[in-house]
Structure 1
Amino acid sequence: MPQLDSAHWQHRLSTLAAEFGVVGASLGILHGSSSGGPHDMHVIDAATGVTNVRSGDPVRTGTVFQIGSITKVYTTTAALRLVADGRLDLDKPLPMGGTLRHLLTHTSGIPGDLFTDTGRGDDCLERFADGLADVPPLLPAGAAFSYCNAGFSLLGRIIEQVTGKMWDEAMRDLVFTPLGLRHTVTLPEEALLHSAAMGHERQPDGTLQPAARWGLPRSTGPAGNIAATARDVLAFARFHLNDGDGLIPADLIREMRTTRVEVPFHDGETEGLGLAWFHKSPGAIGHDGDTIGQTAFLRLLPTHRLAVVLLTNGGPARDLYRALYQEILTEVADLTLPAPLQPPDEPPRFELARHAGVYIGHDYQNELANRNGTPVLSWSATGALREVMPSAGGEYEVAAATENVLLYREPGTKRWHPATFHQLPDGRDALHIGLRAYLRAPGTP
């Protein structure tokens, strides 16, 4: 097995983070021989930048970052421990409709971006779950994929009901302690016991400054509130590469990464979905995480015994991720990332008259308008979502990709994303954008 050169990757992380203007970052790489045993794996980590531009404190390899929605894979792992013990059933109907499997595959139909702050008390998830009874579903369970943070908060509440413990405590018992994750936390007061990264957001003058708040509401914990060091995230990745290390039956761990749900869009990388794990080109499973000014990336390539994690706290994190990950893939696995989405050289005819309208989600909507024959795509946040968004709305730059797909990006950014217009199985018009499904409002053209 070739040994990874720690000094080389420290240099590349520092160089590229400075080049792209990322405030601070921590990189971890785990690599093992395909012929070696489960513990024949080499680990390196590196750190660069500062935890907070105001304090100037350096990022260390022991700095904890928010890993955002990568948390969902941890919460799913805890749930599967309970499935293995016979205390949960993936296919048993839930009182609110659907099954546990629907929650884990983002097909529950629950509106995804419910960030209701139910306080800091130990009953926050109970109160959040009770509040879901008053929220009408976006879609019938199983009808379509639509990324769902709220479904994982509900999963956390189910774990609480089964274990009789708060989600935070259950995660320590079911995942953190058995895996030896001593630098993995769920609460901000726990993060303060470590060197902790502060998120940074772009200001009107173009500078990156500390965000107005550190984290998301506690009720979103099971969906996105874990903070950890890169090395601890790699320990979690090792557990999955080793098919559960005997703690969870290997068939359940493999089901997490092999059960497929098709996604109704193509973003250039995402190919499908297992149980919480996304299938990513080329041949990886993984998850990204975004919180307030922090972005994280985790990729596992089981056939190459490789895992890579990148944690950042402000700036163009995805540019840094793509540059580093491509270099690592080339050196370790001789693989290439798919090219980013780009508008075609000859723009196709986009069915603007067919697709123009308002597309509604919970506390969020997108509008496709016809401006003198040119498509105009805009978005706006409403309700509680406004409290956790840096801005409440805006207009995208767009380009036609097919008759039913627009590529869009925020002004001043480079990365294109797909906005896919299509019909659901029940015949309703829908827009998939940002991993979410939005239904066309009645009465719009």
Structure 2
Amino acid sequence: MSTHTQRPIDIDHWRERLAALAERHGVPGAQLGILRLGADGDDEVVEIAHGVLNVGTGHAVDTGSVFQIGSITKVWTATVVLSLVDEGLLSLDTPVAETLPEFDLADSEHAARITVRHLLNHTSGIDGDMFTDTGRGDDVLHRYVEGLRDSAPIHPLGATFSYCNAGFPLLGRIIEELTGSVWDQAMRERLYSPLGLTRAGTLPEEAVLHGAAVGHVADPAGAVPVPVWGITRSMGPAGLVHANAGDVLAFAAMHLRGGSTAGGERVLAPESAEIMRRHSVDLPDPDTLGDSWGLGWIRYGWGGYRLVGHDGNTIGQSAFLRLFPEAGLAVTLLTNGGQAKDLYQELYGEVFEEVARVRIRPAPTPVAEPGPVSDAEDLPLLGAYRNAGQRLEVRGRGERLVLRVIDLGKLVGVEPEPPREHSLAPLREGAYLFRPEGQRTWVPVTFYALESGHEYAHSGGRAMPLVEGEGLTR
């Protein structure tokens, strides 16, 4: 932990910095929350609001407004699962099919060996980006799980890390089976209520009781509201929670306290809170999400210190959460459009340097700038990689490599983006960078082979098997 003398967090300074940086990166609205635990429960909490909820209405963001926290939801779902482990209702090594007899995959033997732990640390091999809409009823998770039966695994069980949205409806369904409540209600009873969360919820009819942020996408004329508000209910345990920064900080504070609320009520056993942060699996790419994973939490190494956290992206909204347990510090940023990753990188760099004297891991930069993208279709295909959500094609000759990204999945009400082409720049052996249009930070893509010899591209945290061509590892 830093030993410098702690000064009060300067709310006026961070209000000015959030406003300036949000403007720089085209973010319509945002909330910033900073929590520092104090002695005897005397915590320091700063909540700041900026901008508008919707550029079409001009309604201002305030600290009570709610944003979609996206995949930060996964840590909330994982927390409830660990509380069920605390109660002895299952173990981390319980086979999923033992609790959910309706669960199966195209490879039944593979499915039978998947455990709760495999879902929590994203090593199950389930093709993770199947955003199947199973309706609005209370049976959405049961129907989603049944719909996985025709899905083939994308990698051997436990062989690599591949970010898996699909694993969390399974965990949500386990929660339903063991509590007798639908996932939404179980989350309220077992998490929101003990923590005293006043705005967190999962359903749109709950969000409209507060000022709800609308996502935005880029347009030549500026930010434009998205045509739909949220993702399908079937993906709730993976990314449907909405909350304000204050609620996110209250959740973070419970984890920083080892599973207890400010009033001393226990949500998790200390051992369970610790095991969620403990190393479980390394990532093939240490630059996109983190260097390793716990059970629910992403793990980050910043300047010799260990942090945990998670990000979330929904339709036009992005959220960020980082915990520095050694300093009792948590920082969250909720946004509704623009270049949110660029805002995160710059703002968090300033916050952690000022408040904790910790330097954020710098965003990766290429060894050399890549050449322009042109005539990509005329270049030979080196390798094509695919999962349920995307197909990546790498074409090139010599040092000139072009990545073509083709969206295959479709969210309800949102058309897939047209194919996009990016020049690849070298980062290190087997790893390259590309930069999406309008974004300052570079995005890594890593090529590697498993012990079996099967080749993969790792992009956006997903392991995508080679389906055509020779690949880039030979």
| Structure 1 residue aligned with 2:334 | 311
Of residues 444, 451, 455, the one that matches 1:425 is 451
SS in 2 for 1:406: strand
Residue 260 of structure 1: how far off its partner (Å)? 2.7
| Structure 2 residue aligned with 1:222 | 237
| Structure 2 residue aligned with 1:42 | 44
Residue 5 of structure 1: how far off its partner (Å)? 2.0
| Structure 2 residue aligned with 1:77 | 79
Q: Verify: 1:404 aligned to 2:420, yes or no.
A: no
Counterpart Cα distance in 2 of 1:346 and 1:309: 32
SS in 2 for 1:121: coil
**Alpha carbons of structure 1 residues 372 and 255: separation in structure 2 relative to 1, 3 Å:** closer
**Alpha carbons of structure 1 residues 170 and 109: separation in structure 2 relative to 1, 3 Å:** same
Q: Which moved more, 1:44-53 or 1:269-278?
A: 269-278
Residue 327 of structure 1: how far off its partner (Å)? 1.6
Residue 287 of structure 1: how far off its partner (Å)? 0.4
State the TM-score, normalizing by the size of structure 1: 0.94
Residue type of the alignment partner of 1:15: A
| Structure 1 residue aligned with 2:19 | 14
SS in 2 for 1:356: strand
| Structure 2 residue aligned with 1:132 | 148
Counterpart Cα distance in 1 of 2:135 and 2:461: 28
Amino-acid identity (%): 47
| Structure 2 residue aligned with 1:327 | 350
Residue 300 of structure 1: how far off its partner (Å)? 0.4
Of residues 207, 210, 214, the one that matches 1:194 is 210
**Alpha carbons of structure 1 residues 414 and 346: separation in structure 2 relative to 1, 3 Å:** closer
Alignment of 1:127-276 (within 5 A): 127-203=143-219, 205-245=220-260, 246-267=266-287, 270-276=290-296
Unaligned runs of 5+ in 2: 1-5, 98-110, 261-265, 371-378
Deviation per CA, 1:43-78: give whole Å up to 9, x if none: 010101000001100000000000000000000001
| Structure 2 residue aligned with 1:350 | none
Residue type of the alignment partner of 1:224: G
Residue type of the alignment partner of 2:395: A
Alignment of 1:336-347 (within 5 A): 336-345=359-368
Residue 323 of structure 1: how far off its partner (Å)? 2.1
Counterpart Cα distance in 2 of 1:373 and 1:409: 17
Residue 354 of structure 1: how far off its partner (Å)? 12
Counterpart Cα distance in 2 of 1:372 and 1:138: 30
Tell me if structure 1 keeps the 8 A contact 2:430–2:447: yes
Counterpart Cα distance in 2 of 1:379 and 1:126: 32
Deviation per CA, 1:103-125: give whole Å up to 9, x if none: 00010100110100111111111
Tell me if structure 2 keeps the 8 A contact 1:269–1:338: no
Tell me if structure 2 keeps the 8 A contact 1:201–1:211: yes
| Structure 2 residue aligned with 1:367 | 393
Residue type of the alignment partner of 1:91: D
Root-mean-square deviation (Å): 2.0
The alignment of Structure 1 onto Structure 2 pairs a total of residues equal to 436
Tell me if structure 2 keeps the 8 A contact 1:397–1:410: no
Of residues 50, 53, 57, the one that matches 1:51 is 53
Residue type of the alignment partner of 2:65: T
Tell me if structure 2 keeps the 8 A contact 1:363–1:385: no
Q: Verify: 1:3 aligned to 2:8, yes or no.
A: yes
Q: Verify: 1:108 aligned to 2:118, yes or no.
A: no
Residue type of the alignment partner of 2:21: L
Counterpart Cα distance in 2 of 1:20 and 1:413: 9
Of residues 111, 123, 136, the one that matches 1:120 is 136
Residue 270 of structure 1: how far off its partner (Å)? 1.4
Q: Which moved more, 1:316-325 or 1:54-63?
A: 316-325
Residue type of the alignment partner of 1:254: E
Counterpart Cα distance in 1 of 2:82 and 2:380: 44
Q: Verify: 1:32 aligned to 2:23, yes or no.
A: no
